[in-house]
Structure 1
Amino acid sequence: MGKRGDEPSVSDEEWAEFLRTAQEDGGRGAPKEPSAADRRAGQRAGKPAGQRAGEPEGWRTGPAWREMNGGGRTRRRRWAAPLGVLLALGLAVVAVRPELVTDRLPGRDTGSEAGALPAETARPTGAPPEEPFPDQPTLEEPFRGSPAAAWEDGAAGIHVPEAKAVGGMSKEQVAHALTSTRQLLITANLDPATLRGERPKAALELLDPLQTDGRRLIEKALSAPSAEQNPLWAFSRFDPSEVRPAGTIVKTRGRMTYEKGERDGQVLVHADYTFVYPVVRARPGATEVARTVVRREMTFALYDPAKIQTTPGKLYVLRWLESAGNDDCTRDADGFLHPQFASELPHTDGAGPEVDPYDRSTPLADQSDQSEECGTVTRT
């Protein structure tokens, strides 16, 4: 990734128009991804570079990283990365009010007796209900007091729809795109090695190395994390010297869909999933449980190599949005999520707008205009 100033200058009005267009059509009408040589030529000429024939289309996000200013001890992060077709938009909504750290559902039912909810097949119409009976999670019941108590465990909550031929892609090709997306979700968000900060090699291997500003930039972020190169774009990672898992289960809820691309030989896979991670401090004898709630919206493309220049069987990233609830967003430069614990926070109202991290009824793209500062999660 280049230094600040290497990318062409884009005005605030152009930036706003780009985000509006990208959100409306899911990236299919976005600018084409140029080659490195074309980008350099375009910069010298003072205009966007073109696209080579046969290359997959993608998003060009324009300016180098922007870091929005915010007030108080925490900020909401917003990322718009120059990743070719990779858009990473983070909404770290995390200044936790201690009295609202837990959910407000009746505390005696953790969901284990009631059984898991049926799979999500459409966007919910609202957030899970809150009831005025706050309950604290424990090491024995880390999801106590959370809607996630009734969610499925880990990979069991990532369901793959039935594959059918679409967009000039065979049923087998579509099935491969779906199962690859599922495997990427698992290795990026559930694998214990990934969660403790190890290199997610299996996840990276699913991405197309020909996507110059995609996989390669993510690898750079893993090697040298910073506010401008953050592996949290793609992976859920915790500092093992700071926290450890409270148990072996991560709760998962979401859905996966697919559709044809805008041209023959392309299938698009859309994934929208929320993961709930219970943790305790890494020090011996720690018992206080905190939960971090991460939601990801992603669009991947699989191309027919007979029709489009691509690595056979590998995924291209067209969109990647991420929101983290209970992650200290003043610490966004080391590539780890940093859960906050109720006992360590002042008993005062948090700054910024209140956000329910369990509310899956609104697309993350629709929340981008609210992403300039940290908010306060109403529950975890």
Structure 2
Amino acid sequence: MSTSTPEGSPDHGEGAVPVSDEQWAELIRRAEEGGADAPKEPSARARMVTARLRALDEQAAGGRRRSRKGKPAEQWQPEGWRTGPPTGGGRSRKRRRLAAVLGFLVVLGIFVVAMRPSLLTDHLPGGDDEPGRAGPTPEQPFLGSPAADWADGATGIELPEAEAVGGMSKDEVEQALRATRQLIIAANLDPATLRGEKPDRALELLDPMQKGERERLERSLAEPSEEQDPLMLFSRFDPGETRLVGEVVKTLGQTTFEAGDAGSVEVHSDYTFVYPLVRPGGDEVARTIVRRRLTTVLHDPQRFEATRGKLSVLTSEQNFGNTACEINDGFLHPSFPSDTPAPGPTGDDVDPYDRGEWQPDGACGTLTRT
């Protein structure tokens, strides 16, 4: 129950006894009825109390009017009425923070896949010819292949920084590295070589004084066979059977060097090449994958019987993916997705893109992908 002594009333002043609202209301009622004990001047207090009650009624009525206009009806309460600290705020903030992080990760994932779609396509199950999955096309010959992100052609053949080793100067080591790079390009990327023409540029880089090597390669090109096969060093396709799609061959690998016998430097290269191919007049794309490991050596003519600046081939190894193993005519023969599989036994599963495992010579396995 609240009590007050309104300013301006007879009781207002120091030492005045406060009168409750209920007492004033009773006095007013009795005054209106003509009671003898009514105060002589109650009108000011009566008007104040009446105005107060009317204000409360108007506030309540205003709340009802807002409810009828379609807004939520709220019972009027004094400020601070039964209020306390908000609850759940910390949890809401955590949820919002989590949602923001998840949203950022989704956007980041979409951006990465858009920039490098092979991050997604390389891990889809099955091969390019799986039903429902798009295969390579002449416009996108590396679609679905890990090679899609590899370097184009010769740009993928990078050389280490030269330094003097094996009694050879830095300049001589640099010469050996550059000559080996030129040999790799001429043997595996030159358009004339790929069309099955004689790889003259590659042959000119080889030392004619290396016993038997130059003659062996010349014979293999003229009369290819299983024993003397030009594919041991050169990538060649029969132009009447297949042709390269566009001008891009994908390349991945590395080159290193070390000291050889006193007065020589050995250069080791290990590269994988991916060739997209179509038949003449066709648009179905096949890919052949060739991995080559080659060791060349540059000798000091003052210590060896050698031609200055010319390379000798020390070792040459190769793995082929998607070529007919039983044909030895000096060309690579890819199979296409629509081809009927050849009858006969098949070997172990082989991933031609796997650079961690070297297939033994003469192996002819079943490819897991091209």
SS class of match (1:342): coil
Question: Could you list the per-position Cα deviations for residues 263-283 of structure 1 after superposition, in whole angstroms to 9, with x for gaps in the alignment?
Answer: 32010000000000000012x
Is residue 326 from structure 1 mapped to residue 288 from structure 2 by the alignment?
Answer: no
For the residues of structure 2 that align with 1:190 and 1:341, how far apart are their CA atoms?
22
For 1:344, the aligned partner's letter is D
If asked which structure has higher relative contact order (CA below 8 Å, sep 6+), I would say 1
TM norm structure 1: 0.63
For the residues of structure 2 that align with 1:112 and 1:337, how far apart are their CA atoms?
35
Is residue 360 from structure 1 mapped to residue 362 from structure 2 by the alignment?
Answer: no
Q: Which sits farther off after the overlay, 217-226 or 186-195?
A: 217-226
SS class of match (2:198): coil
For 1:160, the aligned partner's letter is L
Structure 1 residue aligned with 2:291: 295
For 2:235, the aligned partner's letter is S
Counterpart pick for 1:269 among 247, 267, 273: 267
For the residues of structure 1 that align with 2:153 and 2:209, how far apart are their CA atoms?
30
> What's the CA shift for 1:290?
0.1
Indicate how the Cα distance of structure 1 residues 308 and 372 shifts in structure 2: closer, same or farther if over 3 A, else same.
closer
Given that 1:350 and 1:375 are in contact with CA atoms closer than 8 Å, whether structure 2 keeps it comes out as no
Counterpart pick for 1:376 among 360, 366, 370: 366
Is residue 114 from structure 1 mapped to residue 116 from structure 2 by the alignment?
Answer: yes
For the residues of structure 2 that align with 1:112 and 1:187, how far apart are their CA atoms?
35
SS class of match (1:296): strand
Question: Could you list the per-position Cα deviations for residues 41-89 of structure 1 after superposition, in whole angstroms to 9, with x for gaps in the alignment?
Answer: xxxxxxxxxxxxxxxxxxxxxxxxxxxxxxxxxxxxxxxxxxxxxxxxx
Counterpart pick for 2:333 among 335, 338, 344: 338
SS class of match (1:221): helix
> What's the CA shift for 1:350?
7.1
For 2:279, the aligned partner's letter is R
For the residues of structure 2 that align with 1:173 and 1:326, how far apart are their CA atoms?
38
For 1:252, the aligned partner's letter is T
For the residues of structure 2 that align with 1:195 and 1:220, how far apart are their CA atoms?
18
For the residues of structure 2 that align with 1:209 and 1:218, how far apart are their CA atoms?
11
Structure 1 residue aligned with 2:161: 162
For the residues of structure 2 that align with 1:379 and 1:245, how far apart are their CA atoms?
19
Indicate how the Cα distance of structure 1 residues 373 and 188 shifts in structure 2: closer, same or farther if over 3 A, else same.
closer
**Aligned residue runs from structure 1 range 220-235, under 5 A:** 220-235=219-234
> What's the CA shift for 1:242?
0.2
For the residues of structure 2 that align with 1:376 and 1:197, how far apart are their CA atoms?
26
Indicate how the Cα distance of structure 1 residues 251 and 115 shifts in structure 2: closer, same or farther if over 3 A, else same.
farther
For 2:124, the aligned partner's letter is E
SS class of match (1:344): coil
Indicate how the Cα distance of structure 1 residues 360 and 306 shifts in structure 2: closer, same or farther if over 3 A, else same.
same
SS class of match (2:176): helix
Structure 2 residue aligned with 1:39: none
Structure 2 residue aligned with 1:30: none
Structure 1 residue aligned with 2:97: none
**Aligned residue runs from structure 1 range 208-223, under 5 A:** 208-223=207-222
Question: What runs of 5+ residues in structure 2 fail to find an aligned partner?
Answer: 1-109, 128-133
For the residues of structure 2 that align with 1:112 and 1:237, how far apart are their CA atoms?
35
- Same amino acid, percent of matched pairs: 55
For 1:176, the aligned partner's letter is Q
For the residues of structure 2 that align with 1:313 and 1:347, how far apart are their CA atoms?
47
For the residues of structure 2 that align with 1:201 and 1:153, how far apart are their CA atoms?
23
> What's the CA shift for 1:116?
11
> What's the CA shift for 1:112?
9.7
For the residues of structure 2 that align with 1:129 and 1:243, how far apart are their CA atoms?
26
**Aligned residue runs from structure 1 range 183-262, under 5 A:** 183-261=182-260
The root-mean-square deviation of aligned C-alpha atoms, in Å, is 2.7
For the residues of structure 2 that align with 1:112 and 1:309, how far apart are their CA atoms?
56
For the residues of structure 1 that align with 2:366 and 2:249, how far apart are their CA atoms?
23
For 2:116, the aligned partner's letter is A
Given that 2:122 and 2:144 are in contact with CA atoms closer than 8 Å, whether structure 1 keeps it comes out as no
